[in-house]
Amino acid sequence: MIEERVKGQPLDRQGSPFNRGIILTLILVATFGGMLMQTSLGTAMPTLMNDFNVLLATGQQATTWFLLANGIMIPVSAYLATKFSTRWLYLIAYAILWVGMFAAYSAPTSAWNVFLAARILQAIAVGISMPLMQVVLVNMFSPKQMGAVMGTMGLVIGLAPAIGPTYAGWILDKNHVILGFTLEQSWRTIFLIPMLVITICWVLMLIFMRDIVPNRDVSLDFLSLLESVLGFGLFLWGFTNVASDGWDNLQTVILPIIAGVAIIAIFVRRQLHMKNPFLDVSVFKNKQFALTTVVMALSMMAMMGVEMMLPLYMQQVHGLSPLSSGLTLLPGALMMGIVSPLAGAAYDKVGVKRLARVGFTILAIGTIPFIFLTTTTPEHFITVLYGLRMFGIAMVMMPLTASAMNALAREQSAHGTAANSTARQVASAVVVALLSSVTQNIITHSQPAASLKDSNPLAFAGDMLEAMLKGYHASFALGLSFALFGLILSFFLQGHVAKGKKEVGGVK
């Protein structure tokens, strides 16, 4: 925890005073710009598929490869946060993010791999900055403030991915003129505004950012790094190939997943026997931290189970424009932004168990009707359901994060954050790949014969819509199963853990 003067003025690691409010604002705004990249391409997927001439199984790689690289980098973040200056880590991470955004913006439509490489660069940067944000906040604020602080952080972790589809739809609707500059109606423009936000924040960080997280001279264990990258990389890569290659592909799906699990097991065993582990997985010996992390991963899977597929459903089944499909999701995103800080404040008073039970119940109730959507379901009804789901998500996400971190000693915050964030990103990557594959496979096996398109175009169109509905119903049903599983596990959570937690060098 940062040391403080008698008057309560916070000091950085060099003993210089700094403004917590300015640093908190810069971190939240910059991380919001990075997290916006996680889901903003969901609404733009049909446009990307058309411009790059790729199928859904290939197009979804823009999201799954982002999550894959993000998941690989997060375990490394614990070492980076412990070893290097907070200020320089942020500056380097956001410089990488800017380069990745620019590369995606300028990628030629004949080079899908260039676009994917740009997405990977963005993911590497977010994989450093997102968990670092959590570590910095844990070290800037006391446990008594953690619920409210994590609720504010929910504006980034929850709201940015939730508002991404609406933002992309707005961009793709028409040309926009802002301050005399014309934003073209193109998926490329999606990257421009975040690039501007990152540029401004980067310059301000040069002035205001300080070294807050305690550093020590730890050596990099290259074998652990290699095991981490290979293990999580192969595991997630196998899942990203499911949609395009199918579950029965031995070389690109089954073997990578099995090899990834085996290497991760070796990695975990090695970390448990190291004096200074690369990633301290012993944090999972804390039952409250482990259970809370699992429940939070399920909440992410339940959220992504609908959030990634709903824009496609709205555009392909209802024929809506990208903007209209994005606006359908906007109230839910706003709900997330409103409820997250309130849920964080409520956590400080009532604990995580009650909030999780109520939140998952609302989430499940809001998801059930999605399984029965039709081609004529009113858009406003879908908007209400989606808003209800996001209300439930907001009630559980940040309280679960705060509970997980409060279950650990403050000196474990960097490794706890890395472990917690890794579980969340791995869950997100797996569920996006899983749902894309399930949806695509069901549509492929249910679609009418190509000959019907010539003999009876109207019948072909109707049968094709029914095939799409079956695929989307299956993905929504999986989203419901994650919500129900999370509800069951929430009954085993503890109430308040911060009260009995031993403070380590911090302000109580």
Same domain, 89 and 36: yes
Same domain, 262 and 386: no
In a domain, 451, yes or no: yes
Same domain, 301 and 392: yes
In a domain, 11, yes or no: no
Same domain, 283 and 273: no
Same domain, 121 and 57: yes
Q: What is the pTM of this model?
A: 0.72
pLDDT value at position 363? 93
Residuewise pLDDT in 10s, the chain (508 residues): 444 443 556 776 777 777 788 888 888 888 888 777 777 777 787 888 888 888 776 777 777 777 778 777 777 777 788 888 888 999 999 999 999 999 999 999 888 889 989 988 998 888 888 778 878 887 787 767 766 776 677 667 667 766 777 788 888 887 777 666 777 778 888 898 889 999 999 999 998 888 887 877 777 788 888 888 888 888 878 877 776 777 788 888 889 999 999 999 999 999 888 887 877 888 888 888 899 999 988 988 888 767 778 887 888 888 887 778 778 878 887 887 788 778 877 887 888 889 999 999 999 999 999 999 888 889 899 999 999 998 999 898 878 888 887 888 777 777 787 788 778 777 877 887 778 778 877 888 888 887 787 788 888 888 888 888 888 888 889 889 999 999 999 998 876 544 334 433 333 3
Distance CA 261, CA 237 (A): 12
In a domain, 384, yes or no: yes
In a domain, 322, yes or no: yes
Q: Is the dihedral of CA 109, 112, 113, 114 positive or negative?
A: positive
Cβ atoms of residues 281 and 271 within 8 Å: yes
Distance CA 189, CA 328 (A): 21
Distance CA 407, CA 78 (A): 18
In a domain, 503, yes or no: no
Distance CA 468, CA 56 (A): 12
In a 3-state reduction of DSSP, which class is residue 359? helix
Same domain, 371 and 239: no
Same domain, 53 and 80: yes
Distance CA 352, CA 498 (A): 11
pLDDT value at position 164? 78
Same domain, 267 and 232: yes
Same domain, 300 and 421: yes
Name every residue whose Cβ is closer than 8 Å to that of residue 395 and which is 6 or more positions away in sequence: 339, 343, 355, 356, 358, 359, 362
Same domain, 371 and 299: yes
Distance CA 127, CA 236 (A): 15
Name every residue whose Cβ is closer than 8 Å to that of residue 111 and which is 6 or more positions away in sequence: none
Same domain, 73 and 193: yes
SS3 track for 134-189: HHHHHHHCCHHHHHHHHHHHHHHHCHHHHHHHHHHHHHHHCCEEECCEEECCCHHH
Same domain, 248 and 208: no
Domain that holds residue 71: 20-213+278-490
Name every residue whose Cβ is closer than 8 Å to that of residue 154 and which is 6 or more positions away in sequence: 336, 340, 341, 343, 344, 394, 397, 398, 401
